[in-house]
């Protein structure tokens, strides 16, 4: 039974998240339905991470087990045909070892969060960014972000419904950058770790936005982290600016 790794891109707006749900559309459900058009099901695919409703995928990774030997390129083409018109695309596919696992073989996840700073409504980026109508101080946000990098108890930045066994994680990167785009100035948050807690990235960004707006001092991020109390977190930002940007593996099939 060959195992195929899939690199998946998707727009999160029409979906209730990655994970299959009985009564709501999901990215996982869409791909499994497309697989059933190619081979008798049921199919169950595993992914590197479960994104929430409204969150996008630039390079989500999943794997599937199939009955017959498929050329990976032909499989990706066939899946893309059956995924139409949903905003989901298989951008690459590779045959992997039977014990390779999209989730458990991963050693890092990378997220991007986009904030667009402009007053006029965004026509072309609607649903793809968190739009705010004020400017943010990048240096102040980076100063606050630096307190979060490293090995910490992230209880403050963890959703109350998080199912992770422990709030202790190691954050490898939280980089804040100003970017000029055709539609206006953006702030990009680049976040990297082996694994994340539920709503951790959105909690980081929402808190750092308060620093960038001048409502918090950077040192208050350290105080919030050390409180280990969800009530100490800043507002959790909306999902539409968040992207799963990449997944790292020791032997990356897509390298």
252 among known catalytic residues: no
Kindly name the residue from 52, 92, 153, 252 that is annotated as catalytic.
52
215, 218, 216, 134: which is closest to 176 by C-alpha?
218
143 close to 222: Cβ distance less than 8 angstroms:
no
Sign of the torsion formed by the C-alpha atoms of 195, 211, 181 and 173 = negative
Residue partners of 118: CB distance under 8 A and separation at least 6: 131, 133, 183, 184, 185
Contacts 24+ apart (CB under 8 A), 72-76: 72/4, 75/4, 75/38, 76/6
Positions marked active-site: 52
């Amino acid at each position: 039974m060959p195992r195929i790794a899939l690199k998946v891109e998707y727009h999160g707006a029409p979906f209730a998240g990655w994970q299959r749900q009985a009564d709501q559309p999901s990215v996982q459900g869409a791909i499994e339905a497309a697989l059933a058009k190619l081979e008798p099901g049921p199919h169950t695919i595993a992914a590197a991470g479960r994104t929430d409703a409204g969150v996008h995928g630039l390079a989500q990774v999943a794997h599937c087990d199939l009955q017959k030997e498929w050329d990976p390129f032909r499989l990706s083409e066939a899946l893309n045909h059956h995924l139409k018109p949903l905003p989901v695309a298989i951008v690459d596919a590779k045959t992997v070892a039977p014990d390779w696992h999209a989730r458990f073989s991963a050693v890092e996840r990378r997220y991007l969060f986009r904030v667009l700073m402009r007053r006029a409504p965004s026509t072309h980026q609607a649903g793809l960014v968190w739009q705010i109508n004020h400017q943010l101080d990048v240096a102040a946000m980076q100063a606050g972000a630096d307190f979060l990098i490293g090995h910490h108890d992230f209880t403050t930045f963890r959703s109350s419904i998080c199912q992770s066994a422990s709030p202790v994680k190691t954050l490898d990167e939280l980089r804040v950058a100003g970017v000029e785009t055709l539609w206006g100035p953006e702030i990009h948050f680049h976040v990297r770790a082996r694994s994340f807690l539920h709503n951790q990235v959105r909690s980081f960004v929402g808190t750092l936005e308060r620093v960038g707006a001048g409502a918090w001092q950077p040192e208050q991020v350290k105080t919030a982290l050390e409180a280990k109390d969800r009530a100490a977190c800043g507002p959790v930002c909306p999902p539409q600016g968040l992207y799963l940007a990449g997944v790292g593996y020791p032997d990356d099939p897509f390298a």
